[in-house]
Amino acid sequence: MISPDITKRYSQYLKLERGLSPNTLDAYMRDLQKLSEYYADNGYDFRSVTLAQLDQFASTLRQANISARSLARILSGVRSFYKFLQLEGEIEQDPTELLESPKTGRHLPQVLSTEEIDRILAVIDQSKPEGVRDHCIIEMLYSCGLRISELISLTFADLFLNDGFIRVRGKGSKERLVPISPRAISELKGWSSIRCHITPQRGFADHVFVSLRRGRALSRISLFVYIRQYAAQAGITKDISPHTFRHSFATHLLQGGANLKAIQEMLGHEDLSTTEIYTHIDRTHLREQILTCHPRNKNLP
């Protein structure tokens, strides 16, 4: 079993030094609890556990029908925990160095075409305040490649419109500057002329996007529902979410010739391999274009 003192110190390390979000921190601690219970059930000392015993831990999770993706996440947390123990001088040798994760394959995210995005924007009724806000939100998600959490936490202090940038707080509270298009700037100014007449609740005075009725920051769920409704009205049958506009942003940049490293910086990815998934999407798009447009592929029986 892992001692409460070690557990507490590890939690503080994840929060303060690695800057994990509350949701990610909770997931890491739940996974650590699974490992601690496994040690308690088998009488293992977490400081002297072997690679074989950790492999057995992974096997017990597989037998419990844990998916490959979830298992990979849990084992990533196990590696993180033992790196922490090594940093703290609790262990000399990291037993997870050769611990293998299952292959999960690459899930290619759904992407909208520019025509589909235009169709979604076209169905929004901008004669209503909610329509002006939602039109601006979708333009921001697509033009700046924002995560939904980044958009709903955006404040007026984060807008540097004269310079053509916005400041974004990403995962782990890491900040980055993202270019903003003239069209998105125009949309923001249009929404701001309405936003200034809304009386926000305490703590939300500087939030750019708020609920018109409650004066609070918009929730993830409400934005998810709005976007699904607009997509249905536009006749889009793809299974989309607010994050789909971020995927579309990156894919369209890559197709337009943008440098992968630049896309990584704009998206706020720590690891370039995360951004590389869009090269797979681009190749898929290229193959579809060849099959559709090349004369040798036309009029096949």
Q: Tell me the catalytic residues.
A: 147, 171, 243, 246, 269, 278
How many angstroms separate the CA atoms of 197 and 263, rounded? 36
d(CA 71, CA 103): 10
Q: 23-43 as b/e, with b when 16 or more CB fall inside 10 Å?
A: ebeebbeebbebbbebbeeee
What is the Cβ-side half-sphere exposure of residue 266, based on CA atoms within 13 angstroms? 23
Q: Rounded CA gap, 270 and 261, in Å?
A: 11
Question: With contact defined as beta carbons under 8 Å apart, do 120 and 236 qualify?
Answer: yes
3-state DSSP call for residue 177? strand
132/247 Cα distance (integer angstroms): 23
And the tokens for 93? Answer: 């040798």
Q: In what order do the strands lie in the sheet with 159-160?
A: 159-160, 165-169, 175-179
